[in-house]
Amino acid sequence: MSYRLDPALPISEALRFVALAELDIAHTSLAAPPDRHKGVHSARKCFKRLRSLLGLARPGMPEPLYANLNKRVAKIGKGLAAARDAHALFDALNTLERKTEPGLGDAPIEAMRDWLQERREAAARNLERSSASQSLEMLLELRPRFASLVVYPDDFTPLSKGLQLNYYRAREQFKSASRKKDPALLHDWRKSVQRHWRHMQLLTACWPSELGARAEAARGLSQTLGDDHDIANLMHLATAPAMTFGTPEDVSAFLKRCKIRLKELRKDAKVRGERLFVEKPQPFAGRIHAYWTTAAVGALKPVAAAPQSNNVVAIDDARPEPAMQSS
């Protein structure tokens, strides 16, 4: 698995190794995929993993550098979002129909499926014309910047701070989302859960059994929250003033069907969240730091040689003392 930091390498080198591997995967996915939709999905996952890596390393990076790289990666992903989102909503509608009782709001489901199919085809045509090629150009510009990535100090300290900061954010967002049941709060929590999942993937090598289990638990929670977000978007679409997917009675029945599913998902998310975020942030990050230090001392050699790049750019030697960043 390429998305895993190697304890045998200095932290900066380990970060570069993973980042360049993700850029290679994204490039291959967009350049000539056998299935354009699968290629876009694969590339977008790479961009999310890159942003999670940056978030973990953020306390050891100059803030302008972090902001610039994060913005560039986000921009590439956003350019591919329309094609992926159209597929996601189409799949979410089919899942809703499968997971809930038939007969409740069936008419809007059929009308929405036809509309989403047209939207999906239009997004695919636009992707073929311009979005994929533009993304490839921006990817090539990113490579030398990630090839020169350095954190200071070049040890686990900045990563421990980044881990603690995101864990704290996810824990607080869980509390807020549980109290208010606001779809926007749930979506924010989902993004932090996704970052935590990927942080656990990055750090799995320091204790595979424990951190691998946490990564799977966070992935499962992220999927539940993703299903919640998709249904909230379907409800928004069904009630949009410019849209007509049936009679008012049909739409009302469809919304009821959505709410039944949301109740199930949010109950499941609450149980998963309570297990995943029971520990306080500082002891949690301190424990992972200890695991990593032990693994690094015991590591004899790198798992694989770090990829080389001929496009390395100069690095400013004046690196400020890292401080905890806030979003």
User: Can you tell me the distance from the alpha carbon of 57 to that of 160, in angstroms, rounded to the nearest whole number?
Assistant: 9
pLDDT digits (tens, 9 = 90+) for 287-320: 999 999 999 997 755 544 434 444 433 333 333 3
User: Can you tell me the distance from the alpha carbon of 215 to that of 201, in angstroms, rounded to the nearest whole number?
Assistant: 6
Residue appearing with tokens 């779809």: 183
Other C-beta atoms lying within 10 Å of the C-beta of residue 217: 18
Which has the minimum average pLDDT: 32-46, 182-196, 216-230, 277-291? 32-46
Those residues with Cβ within 8 angstroms of residue 138's Cβ, 6 or more apart along the chain or in another chain: 72, 75, 76, 79
pLDDT digits (tens, 9 = 90+) for 194-218: 999 999 999 999 999 999 999 999 9
**Distance from CA of residue 174 to its chain's centroid?**
17
Please tell me the pTM assigned to this model: 0.87
C-beta of residue 21 within 8 angstroms of C-beta of residue 2 = yes
pLDDT digits (tens, 9 = 90+) for 51-100: 999 999 999 999 999 999 999 999 998 877 777 787 888 999 999 999 88
The alpha carbon torsion through 101, 102, 103, 108 (nearest 10 deg) reads 100
Tokens of residue 210, six digits: 């424990």
- Range 11-298 has CATH code 1.40.20.10: yes
User: Can you tell me the distance from the alpha carbon of 195 to that of 227, in angstroms, rounded to the nearest whole number?
Assistant: 17
**Distance from CA of residue 7 to its chain's centroid?**
23
